[in-house]
Chains A and B, each alone.
Chain A
């Protein structure tokens, strides 16, 4: 059974700092890995999708990498802003499935 772990569970940084969020998964036979953002009491916003054949994806100040063989992904946020404060969730789908297995998330606070 796939398990997804996110470290750290919470992170507080001053505005402007670059930061890295970590995600690991136990079964390397994934189809896609997706990073989401969730604001309190809200739904999920898709940030980046990395297909299993890809190594990284970039969108603006966000860069996500995938090392499928080691079961790891990182989300890099450059020049953090208070508006980046949210919970970041990592999720994977298995081969032939669209069911997402989620980590518990990293709660990010960017202090002005």
Chain B
């Protein structure tokens, strides 16, 4: 299965600052996804990040708030900009492994607390 590493695993951030989360995969993947999990809630898709094209954002998420980079087939970043306490969540990167029946794998998540 694909091994996905996320950094940071956890951080406490000041209101109004921005933080960039990194996602590294041990194999080349076409599609990467960023999800958010707010406290006590299930996961919500933020955007799909494809290499060589602009990320596709879901309703309620905008590029100015969550800019995404996808410079190659093994790496992506998600920035959470101008953070507020409502952004306190676990942010998760995921990929589709087409060699395993399109199984979707997740990283360990980045737990952000905004104070």
Contacts and interface: CB of A to CB of B under 8 A. Distances in A.
Contacts of A98: 31, 33, 48, 96, 102, 104
Interface residues of A, number: 22
Given A46-B1, A46-B103, A46-B104, A99 B109 contact: no
B45 interface: yes
B41 A43 contact: no
A51 B104 CA distance: 12
A36 B45 contact: no
A104 B44 CA distance: 11
Contacts of A100: 35, 43, 45, 94, 104
Interface of A: 31-32, 34, 36, 41-46, 49, 51, 89, 91, 93, 98-100, 102-105
